[in-house]
Structure 1
Amino acid sequence: MKNKTNNKPLKGILVLEFCQYLAGPSAGLRLADLGARVIKIENPGKGDLCRILPIKDQWVKNNSLLFHTINRNKESYTANLKSVEELDNIRKLIEEADVIIHNFRPGVMKKLGLDFDQAKECNPELVYAEISGYGKVGPWGKKPGQDLLVQAMSGLMYASGDRDDAPTPFGLAIGDILCGAQVVQAILAALVYKNRKKKAIKIEVSLLESLIDFQFEIFTTYFASGKLPKRSLVNNAHALLGAPYGIYKTKDGYIALAMIPLQDLKEIIQSDLLNEYDQSMVFSKRDEIKSILVDLIKENSSKFWIEKLLAKGLWATSLKNWKELKNSQSYEFLKLEQEIQISINQSFKTNRCPIRINGEIMWGSVPAPDLGADNEVIKKEFNLNPEHS
C-alpha cells in the first residue's frame, strides 16, 4: 500500500542532486521519501559512479543493487557540466529549484560556475547544501571523503572491539549515512528559514565532522578528564561504560547485557566469585568482573539467562542475526520492507523509509532511474534548450 503523494510533507519541493556514492544520495533519498521531487544531475558518460559499485556482486539491470537502494524515487538528467551550453540548462533548473545538494570536492563547483554565490544569483532563495570529506579549510580539505578512510582519521575505530584488538572499523558506511542524515536535518531547517526570510542559505557538512559528532560522549569525557578512553579488555561494547555492559557467549548463543546494577546481577547468578565486588567497582574492576561473568554465563543457555533477567525487569536480550530478526513477529508487524518493481519480470525488496507521519508510512517504491531517463521530460517541462544535454 502506497501513500497518496498529497500526504507527504515535502510535496512541491524540487531538489537537484549533484552527488554520487552514498552520503549525498542517501540525503536525496530521504527527501524523496518525504515527498520532494529529486532530480539527479549526472555525467552523460557514466553517471553516478555508484551505478558500477556493487555490493556482494549483485546487479539490477545494468546498475548495482547498491545504486538502487539509495536512488529510488528519483529522476535522472544528464548534462556535461563543462559545456557552456549545457550549463545554461542547469542554471534554468536552479532557477526553479528549492534545494541543491552536491558532494564534489571543495572548489569543483566554483570552477564549474555553480558554487553558492553563483547559484544564488540564479535563485536568491536557494537552499544550497554541500558535503565534503573533511571540510573546506585546512590541510585535509582536498582529501577524498571515502567512508573507511574518514573512519580511520576520526578515532572511531578505537571504540569497537576489545582493548588488545586492532582498530576495528564500523561494519557499515556509518560516516556516509550519518552525514546524509545530518544534511537532511539541515535542509529541513533551512527550508523553514527560507520560508520566513526569503533568503538563500548555505549548508556545509563533512563526513569527519559527522563522525566526531557521533562520538560526542567520548570527546566530552576526554575534554573533561584529559585521558583517552580505553576499551575494556573483555567483551567491550562501549568504552565509557562499566561492567557488565557487553556481549556474552552462552551455552548455545549470545546475550547482551546493558546497564544492570551489579547487585541485581549477583542475585541472579548466585556465585561467590562476585562477592568481593560492588557497584562502586564497575569501572575500576571492569575487566575482572567481566572476566568472571564470561566464565559463569557460558555455563547455561541464552533462554535460561534471559528468562531470569527479564523476570527482574533488567535490560538484557538474546542476539539475533539478520535472518532471525526478519523472521520475528515484531519485524513483520512493523512492515519494514517494500517491493521495488523494475519491470514486469524483475523486482527486488528493500527497506522502507523508517518515518511515519500522522500514522502513515512514507512508502517510496519507484525504481531508481536509468541514466538520463528523464532528460526529454525535464527539458520540455522546464523549457530547456533541446539541442543540449
Structure 2
Amino acid sequence: MTKINKNKPLEGILVLEFCQYLSGPSAGLRLADLGARVIKIENPGKGDLCRILPIKDQWVEENTLLFHTINRNKESYTANLKSEGELAEIKKLISKADVMLHNFRPGVMEKLGLDFQQAKMCNSEIIFAEISGYGKEEPWAKKPGQDLLLQAMSGLMYASGDREDAPTPFGLAIGDILCGAQVVQAVLAALVYRKRKNKAVKIEVSLLESLIDFQFEIFTTYFTSGKLPVRSAVNNAHPLLGAPYGIYETHDGHIALAMISLKDLKETLGSTELDEFDQSMVFSKRDKIKSVLVEILKKENSAFWMKKLQANGLWAADLKNWEQLKNSEGYKKLQLEQEIKFSEEKTIKTNRCPIRIDGEVMWGEIPAPNLGEHSKAIKREFELNEELL
C-alpha cells in the first residue's frame, strides 16, 4: 500500500541537483524526503554516472540498484550545458528555484557559466551549495574526490582495526554520506537565513572537511596532548577509550562492551582473574585487561553473558548481522523498510527516511527517474523554451 505524507516541511521548495555518484545525490535525497521538489539536471545520453555504477552487480531495469537507493522521489531533466540554447533554459529554471546543488570538480561550474555569481544574476535569492573533495585551494583542489581516497587522506583509517592491523577503511562511503548530510544542514540553515536577509547564500562543503569534523574527538585530543592516538592491540573499537571498550568473542558469537566500570564488570562476570586491575589502570593496562576478558568471555554463550550484563544495567549488546537485525522485534516495530514500485510486477525494497516529524514518518516511495523522463513536462511547466520559439 502506498503511504502518502501531507504537508511535508519542505513542500514548495524547488531544488536543482547538478550532481552524480553519492555525496550530492544523498543530500538531494534527504531534501526530497522532507518534501522538496528535486530535479536532477543530467547530461543527455549518460546522465548521473551512478546509473551505471553497480553494487554487487545489482540492476533495476536499465539503472543500477545503487542509483535507485539515493535518487527516489526525484525528477530528471536532461540538458547539454555546453549548448547556448539549453544553458539559457537552465538559467531560466534557476530563476524559479530555491536551491542549487552541485558536486562537480572545482572550476567546472565557472566554465559552464553556472557558478555562484552567474546563478545570482539569474536569481538574487538562490541558495547555492557546492561539494568538493578537498575545497578550492591548491595544492589539493584537483585531487579526485573519491570516498576511499579521502578516507586514506583524512587519517580515518587509523581509528579502526587493532594496533598491528593495516590501516582499516570504513566499510561504507562514509565521507560521501556525511558530506551530503552536512549539506542538508547547511541548506536548511540557509533557507532560514534567506528569509531574514532576502539574499543569495553560498554553501561550500568538502569531503575532507566532513571527515575531519567526523573525527573531532581524535583531533581535539591530539591537539591538546600532542600525541597521536594509538589503537588498542586487543579488540580495538575506539583508540581514545580504555578497557573494556570493544568487541569480544563468546562461545557462540560476539558481544560489545561499552563504557563499564571495572568494579561493576568484575562483580557481574564473577571472575577473580580481573582482581589485579582497578579503574586507574583502564588506560595504562588497557591491552592486558582486554586480553583477560577475551579468555573469560569465550567460555560461555552470548545469551549467558547478556543476561548477566543486562541484569546489572551495564552497557552491552550482542552483535547482529543484517539478517539477524532484520528479523528482530525492535527492528520490525520501527517500520524501517518501504517498497518502491516500478510497475504492478516490479518492486524493490529499501530503507525509509529515518526522520519523523510530528510523529509522522517521511515516506518516499516514488522510484528514481529514467534519464530525461520529466524533461518535456518541466519545459512546458516553466515555459523554458518560449524564448527559442
* Residue 300 of structure 1 pairs with residue 309 of structure 2: no
Cα distance in 2 for partners of 1:268, 1:4 equals 49
Other-structure match for 2:155:
155
Tell me, what secondary structure is at the counterpart of 1:7? coil
Residue 153 of structure 2 aligns with an amino acid whose one-letter code is M
Residue 77 of structure 1 aligns with an amino acid whose one-letter code is Y
- The superposition leaves residues 27-73 of structure 1 with CA deviations (integer Å, 9 ceiling, x where unpaired) of 00000000000000000010000000001000001000000000000
Cα distance in 2 for partners of 1:272, 1:328 equals 35
- The superposition leaves residues 242-295 of structure 1 with CA deviations (integer Å, 9 ceiling, x where unpaired) of 000000000000000000000111112233321111000000000000000001
Tell me, what secondary structure is at the counterpart of 1:30? helix
Cα distance in 1 for partners of 2:386, 2:18 equals 21
Change (3 A) 1:123 1:3: farther
Offset, 1:2: 5.4
Cα distance in 2 for partners of 1:267, 1:177 equals 41
Other-structure match for 1:333:
333
Residue 84 of structure 2 aligns with an amino acid whose one-letter code is V
Other-structure match for 1:268:
268
- The superposition leaves residues 93-151 of structure 1 with CA deviations (integer Å, 9 ceiling, x where unpaired) of 00000000000000000000000011001000000000000011121111111000000
Cα distance in 2 for partners of 1:39, 1:343 equals 22
Other-structure match for 2:19:
19
CA contact (8 A) 1:253 1:301 kept: yes
Matches within 5 A, 1:53-202: 53-202=53-202
Other-structure match for 2:360:
360
Cα distance in 2 for partners of 1:349, 1:155 equals 35
CA RMSD of aligned residues (A): 1.1
Gaps of 5+ in 2: none
Cα distance in 1 for partners of 2:20, 2:103 equals 7
CA contact (8 A) 1:17 1:38 kept: yes
Residue 325 of structure 1 aligns with an amino acid whose one-letter code is L
Gaps of 5+ in 1: none
Cα distance in 1 for partners of 2:3, 2:187 equals 23
Change (3 A) 1:126 1:53: same
Cα distance in 2 for partners of 1:129, 1:380 equals 27
CA contact (8 A) 2:269 2:308 kept: no
Residue 156 of structure 2 aligns with an amino acid whose one-letter code is L
Cα distance in 1 for partners of 2:47, 2:344 equals 25
Cα distance in 1 for partners of 2:229, 2:14 equals 45
Residue 218 of structure 1 aligns with an amino acid whose one-letter code is I
Residue 79 of structure 2 aligns with an amino acid whose one-letter code is A
Offset, 1:303: 0.7
* Residue 217 of structure 1 pairs with residue 213 of structure 2: no
Cα distance in 2 for partners of 1:4, 1:331 equals 22
- The superposition leaves residues 285-341 of structure 1 with CA deviations (integer Å, 9 ceiling, x where unpaired) of 000000000011100110111100111100001111000000011111010000000
Query: Percent same amino acid among aligned pairs?
Result: 76
Length-normalised TM-score, structure 1: 0.98
Residue 75 of structure 1 aligns with an amino acid whose one-letter code is E
CA contact (8 A) 2:5 2:363 kept: no
Cα distance in 1 for partners of 2:359, 2:226 equals 46
CA contact (8 A) 1:5 1:11 kept: no
Length-normalised TM-score, structure 2: 0.98
Q: Aligned residues, how many? A: 388
Tell me, what secondary structure is at the counterpart of 1:323? helix
Offset, 1:155: 0.1
Residue 223 of structure 2 aligns with an amino acid whose one-letter code is F
Q: Which runs of 4+ in 1 moved over 6 A?
A: none
Cα distance in 2 for partners of 1:280, 1:166 equals 30
Offset, 1:345: 1.3
Other-structure match for 1:351:
351
Residue 181 of structure 2 aligns with an amino acid whose one-letter code is A
Offset, 1:4: 4.5
* Residue 282 of structure 1 pairs with residue 275 of structure 2: no
Matches within 5 A, 1:349-388: 349-385=349-385
Cα distance in 2 for partners of 1:304, 1:105 equals 54
Cα distance in 2 for partners of 1:315, 1:269 equals 14
CA contact (8 A) 1:29 1:71 kept: yes
Cα distance in 2 for partners of 1:2, 1:225 equals 55
Cα distance in 2 for partners of 1:351, 1:387 equals 43
Offset, 1:387: 9.9
Offset, 1:385: 1.2
CA contact (8 A) 1:237 1:247 kept: yes
Tell me, what secondary structure is at the counterpart of 1:377? helix
Change (3 A) 1:386 1:48: farther
